[in-house]
Structure 1
Amino acid sequence: MGGVPRDAPASRSSHSGRPSGLIGKQIAGYRVESEIGRGGMAVVYRAKDLRLDRTVALKLLAPELARNDTFRQRFTHESRVAAAIEHPHIVPVFEAGETDGVLYIAMRYVPGLDLRHLLDRSGPLPVGTALRIAAQVASALDAAHDHGLVHRDVKPGNILVAKGTDSDHPEHVYLTDFGLTKKSLSLTGFTSVGQFVGTLDYVAPEQISGRPVDGRCDVYSLACVVHETMAGGPPFQRDDDMALLWAHQYDQPPRLTEKRPGSPGALDGVLAKALAKSPDERYGSCLEFVAALRAAVTGSAQGHPPTQVDLQVVGAPVDPGAPPDPPRWARPVFRRLPE
């Protein structure tokens, strides 16, 4: 799996045309074995690294991207930054380069499903599962932000869900597609409306308006993903792209409790803050957002106010400014059990 967008139109090129066109061919030291993902700007193949005898996910970008010098330079820079990030929830990038006029990225091959396929197959996830996935993605995003890299395309298709290690960690999540960011693609003109890479369901308002972005735009996109994992769909669903762009910039998100009755009410406030139109009003990091999600769920699960103890009964000093004592019948009774 390579995390390539599956919701964009297929590209027309010698390297991204018919699925069988490259099967068995050798590209930059990799032998193409099968196609595993396709999007508007790239195709991902399962391939064999002939030098190290290992299976990789080989992503080939559309040739028209390689013809843009500015894009090539930024792509090379961002791929190197992504390759330098060592994190358990970021798909390792082994190599990125250009061969025969085509840009390519070789990444770890991750068996399993991406979150898009998992949601399409299973629908909304249990809250605990959604939180575990969100926490792993948040950790990956914050690590990238610490390296000065903003993902800008957080969505279920870029979140890979592999088998975990044990019952306490039933899934291991990887975030992919750092080397192909919207900042890079905007330099080529491919991010105009109608050519937007991937999907508009998870894009932050500041990305749409062309304002500067930082890690808080990934907080917004992650919140859209979390909403979908719990509610079965992203927060904004409209009939056309322009209406969806408008909704992200101006409409208030629906309450999760309306989409998923019975879910903790405190989640509404947490998601509303993460989906704020202004980055300044959101959480400062993805892990801060996930911590608030956890607090909303665990606080609701406890479901009762903290236990109060009558300090006079246990012999503690009494505050003269404290409210009057409750009647004796309402006080707790402590009895020594027979030894």
Structure 2
Amino acid sequence: MATRIAGYEVQGEIGRGGMAVVYRARDLRLDRTVALKLLAPELARNDTFRRRFSHESRVAAALDHPHIVPIFEAGEADGVLYIAMRYVSGPDLRALLDREGVLPVATALRIAAQVASALDAAHQHDLVHRDVKPGNVLVAQGTDSDRPEHVYLTDFGLTKKSLSLTGFTTAGQFVGTLDYVAPEQISGRAVDGRCDLYSLACVVFEMLTGGPPFVRDEDIALLWAHQHDRPPVLSEVRSGLPAGFDDVFAKALAKTPADRYGTCLDFMGALRLAAYGAAPGGPGTPGRPADRTPTVATPTAGRRTLRTRPPPDWARPVFGGERPGS
């Protein structure tokens, strides 16, 4: 007999972590497939966590962005806290990197720009992700050859800040993944969106080189490296990358948040500038239509000319806003 939880029929496990299990499930009310995250039972028994879970789930559900997995519902049934969200068909970035090793620069920047826009949108709502990693980046099929991937950032609904406030993490621990965790998370300092920027930079570093910036045999050595060791120079890890990437990553991976870029899209703009030798919003390089501002054909005096179509509001920090003549 199939398991039913709060109007959802569980069909099979998708993945699991220390505090939650995610299932593919059928929404019996709307007859649609969803991803159903069930939190560990001990979390539901903590009143402080339950209150923060309710509040932060509402904030996450209110995020309306094309690159954030939509949350349909969050609640409690039979003592189990759950979150129902869109089911995304396709691999996560972890599986893609395990298969490909490294990605072409254009592909890495396309994926990273979508994640960056999602993070900045969350930060505008005072929501810090705190666990940006390849496993939380879902890569679905895109719309056309110019945009072959449509990326979703997931796992906003698990209230990581609440874990530290309710005794589920202890002194000296943090919520996050060691390969991508920001120095301020490790030391227990206050975090903001620049914490996610650091993690995003680690993910982009891995997309371009095949591994995260810091690799150590012991966890304690890895934590020390994030806090104190100089990040490796990108060009020394993989040859053939744009020379300007070295300075961009040095800034994005700065130990002090104030020394990093102000937003994730600022970081992406700097990468585009280094990669294509034009200001963010420039046409990119020949033969890379996915890296150019979209254009549309308009009739003028019996012939076809190209008019620049302005990017959506969430993408303007990458493209630099509307260009003259648009």
TM superposition score category, shorter chain reference: 0.7 to 0.9
Q: Distance in 2 between matches of 1:97 and 1:181?
A: 13
Q: TM-score, normalised by structure 2?
A: 0.83
- Structure 1 position 39 matched with structure 2 position 17: yes
Tell me if the contact between 1:40 and 1:197 (Cα under 8 Å) persists in the aligned partners. no
AA partner of residue 141 (structure 1): L
Other structure's SS at 2:9 match: strand
Deviation at 1:246, TM superposition (A): 0.7
Distance change (3 Å), C-alpha of 1:136 and 1:110: same
Q: Distance in 2 between matches of 1:239 and 1:66?
A: 36
Distance change (3 Å), C-alpha of 1:192 and 1:268: farther
Q: Distance in 2 between matches of 1:77 and 1:210?
A: 23
- Structure 1 position 105 matched with structure 2 position 78: no
Other structure's SS at 1:141 match: helix
Deviation at 1:195, TM superposition (A): 6.8
Q: Residue 52 of structure 1 aligns with which residue?
A: 30
Tell me if the contact between 2:172 and 2:188 (Cα under 8 Å) persists in the aligned partners. no
Deviation at 1:191, TM superposition (A): 3.5
Q: Distance in 2 between matches of 1:104 and 1:277?
A: 36
Q: Residue 308 of structure 1 aligns with which residue?
A: none
Tell me if the contact between 1:39 and 1:198 (Cα under 8 Å) persists in the aligned partners. no
Deviation at 1:212, TM superposition (A): 0.8
* Aligned with residue 212 of structure 1, among 190, 193, 208: 190
Deviation at 1:223, TM superposition (A): 0.3
AA partner of residue 107 (structure 1): M
AA partner of residue 18 (structure 2): G
- Structure 1 position 253 matched with structure 2 position 265: no
Deviation at 1:181, TM superposition (A): 3.7
- Structure 1 position 148 matched with structure 2 position 123: no
User: CA deviation digits over 1:230-256, x for unaligned, max 9?
Assistant: 011110111111111111111111011
- Structure 1 position 85 matched with structure 2 position 72: no
How many percent of aligned residue pairs carry the same amino acid? Answer: 78
Structure 1 segments of 4+ aligned residues over 4 angstroms from their partners: 192-198
Q: Residue 184 of structure 1 aligns with which residue?
A: 162
Q: Distance in 2 between matches of 1:281 and 1:153?
A: 21
* Aligned with residue 72 of structure 2, among 72, 94, 97: 94
AA partner of residue 213 (structure 2): P
Deviation at 1:193, TM superposition (A): 8.0
- Structure 1 position 284 matched with structure 2 position 247: no
How do 1:157-172 and structure 2 match up within 5 A?
157-172=135-150
Q: TM-score, normalised by structure 1?
A: 0.80
Q: Distance in 2 between matches of 1:277 and 1:218?
A: 13
Q: Distance in 1 between matches of 2:173 and 2:45?
A: 18
User: CA deviation digits over 1:271-309, x for unaligned, max 9?
Assistant: 11000011100000000000000101012997xxxxxxx
Tell me if the contact between 1:114 and 1:157 (Cα under 8 Å) persists in the aligned partners. yes
Other structure's SS at 2:250 match: helix
Q: Distance in 2 between matches of 1:273 and 1:196?
A: 24
Distance change (3 Å), C-alpha of 1:292 and 1:30: same
Distance change (3 Å), C-alpha of 1:181 and 1:204: farther
Deviation at 1:216, TM superposition (A): 0.6
The structure with the largest alpha-carbon Rg is: 1
Deviation at 1:69, TM superposition (A): 1.1
Deviation at 1:199, TM superposition (A): 2.0
Q: Distance in 1 between matches of 2:256 and 2:277?
A: 27
Q: Residue 308 of structure 2 aligns with which residue?
A: none
Tell me if the contact between 2:130 and 2:176 (Cα under 8 Å) persists in the aligned partners. no
Q: Residue 336 of structure 1 aligns with which residue?
A: none
Q: Residue 303 of structure 2 aligns with which residue?
A: none
| Number of aligned positions between the proteins | 280
Tell me if the contact between 2:9 and 2:25 (Cα under 8 Å) persists in the aligned partners. yes
Q: Distance in 1 between matches of 2:176 and 2:30?
A: 32
- Structure 1 position 117 matched with structure 2 position 95: yes
AA partner of residue 265 (structure 2): L
AA partner of residue 208 (structure 1): I
Distance change (3 Å), C-alpha of 1:201 and 1:190: farther
* Aligned with residue 74 of structure 1, among 52, 56, 59: 52
Deviation at 1:93, TM superposition (A): 0.2
**Long gaps (5+) in structure 1:** 1-22, 303-339
AA partner of residue 199 (structure 2): S
Deviation at 1:32, TM superposition (A): 0.2
Other structure's SS at 1:265 match: coil
Q: Distance in 1 between matches of 2:41 and 2:175?
A: 15
Deviation at 1:192, TM superposition (A): 4.2
AA partner of residue 233 (structure 2): R
Tell me if the contact between 1:137 and 1:159 (Cα under 8 Å) persists in the aligned partners. yes
Other structure's SS at 1:113 match: coil
Deviation at 1:198, TM superposition (A): 5.2
Tell me if the contact between 2:57 and 2:159 (Cα under 8 Å) persists in the aligned partners. no
